[in-house]
């Protein structure tokens, strides 16, 4: 009997059965089946340099990963308002801190705070009954909107202005965090925290336990948009596909 083959066989079985530590490039991250993202949008103006024109009255957006002509639901979490829009292009280059570029029409419809244009984007499947019912209306509305003048007659309502001032005073202070990812194991979340500290030179990290099988790695919180953007752009070196910004996380 050839004992060398027996020894090699048992060594192979032993090595394969050993528990291996997760590699930094293959960490166990939970990705949602349908694309969703919360973060800050960039509102298009003619002053943006090297950005393709986006019609002010259009219901179109620029996005860096979703396919052209994708249908998306855009929501304002602060007031619950939402609308349906279409991705005009995914080839326009802009800072990855922004999850999209929106037309002025969309910003106005959602009543976004231009100092904090925080939105949620959700990809709507093309075979969705929701899209089927809204498709004709969307095309008709878009056609009318793009031909309509941007500015209309404005009537100053003193009571409305007062209510807006009160609303601004009651708004909560700036408090946002960066959601890196959700992990099944706490140990895996800790490995990611260590990796970010070394590779991105970011220190204000926390692990939030959502359940016994869900641990969320967060960066922050931040109390100003400049420091938030700075940390977000540092994370680009780690090539995460869907970093999110969460409010009051």
Domains of the chain: 36-148 (2.40.40.10), 176-247 (3.30.70)
Do residues 55 and 145 lie in contact, with contact meaning Cβ atoms separated by under 8 Å? no
Per residue in 171-230, pLDDT tens?
A: 568 899 999 999 999 999 999 999 999 999 998 999 999 999 999 999 999 999 999 999
Do residues 179 and 196 lie in contact, with contact meaning Cβ atoms separated by under 8 Å? no
pLDDT at residue 58 greater than cutoff 70: yes
- Per-state percent for the chain, helix, strand, coil, to nearest 5: 35, 25, 40
User: Cα–Cα distance between 174 and 195 in angstroms, integer?
Assistant: 28
Q: Kindly state the average pLDDT of the residues 37-66.
A: 91
pLDDT above 90 covers a percentage of the chain that reads 55
pLDDT at residue 132 greater than cutoff 60: no
Q: What is the pLDDT of residue 18?
A: 39
**pTM for the predicted model, two decimal places:** 0.68
Q: What is the pLDDT of residue 182?
A: 93
SS3 category, 143: helix
Select from 19, 18, 27, 26 the least CA-distant residue to 188.
Answer: 27
User: Cα–Cα distance between 82 and 72 in angstroms, integer?
Assistant: 10
Q: What is the pLDDT of residue 237?
A: 80
């Amino acid at each position: 009997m050839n004992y060398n083959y027996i020894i090699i066989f048992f060594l192979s079985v032993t090595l394969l059965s050993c528990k291996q530590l997760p590699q930094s490039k293959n960490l166990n991250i939970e990705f949602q089946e349908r694309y969703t993202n919360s973060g800050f949008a960039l509102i298009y103006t003619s002053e943006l340099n090297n950005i393709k024109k986006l019609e002010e009255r259009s219901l179109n957006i620029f996005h860096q990963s979703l396919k052209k002509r994708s249908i998306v639901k855009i929501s304002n979490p602060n007031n619950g308002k939402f609308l349906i829009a279409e991705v005009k292009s995914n080839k326009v280059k802009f800072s990855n801190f922004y999850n999209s570029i929106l037309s002025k029409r969309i910003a106005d419809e959602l009543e976004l705070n231009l100092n904090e244009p925080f939105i949620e984007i959700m990809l709507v499947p093309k075979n969705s009954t929701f899209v089927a019912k809204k498709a004709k209306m969307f095309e008709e509305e878009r056609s009318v909107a793009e031909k309509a003048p941007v500015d209309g007659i404005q009537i100053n309502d003193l009571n409305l202005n007062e209510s807006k001032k009160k609303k601004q005073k009651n708004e909560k202070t700036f408090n946002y965090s960066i959601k890196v990812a959700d992990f099944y194991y706490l140990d895996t979340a800790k490995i990611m925290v260590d990796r970010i500290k070394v590779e991105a030179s970011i220190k204000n990290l926390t692990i939030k336990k959502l359940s016994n099988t869900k641990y969320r790695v967060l960066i922050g919180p931040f109390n100003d948009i400049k420091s938030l953007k700075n940390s977000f752009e540092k994370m680009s070196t780690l090539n995460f596909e869907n970093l999110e910004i969460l409010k009051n996380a």
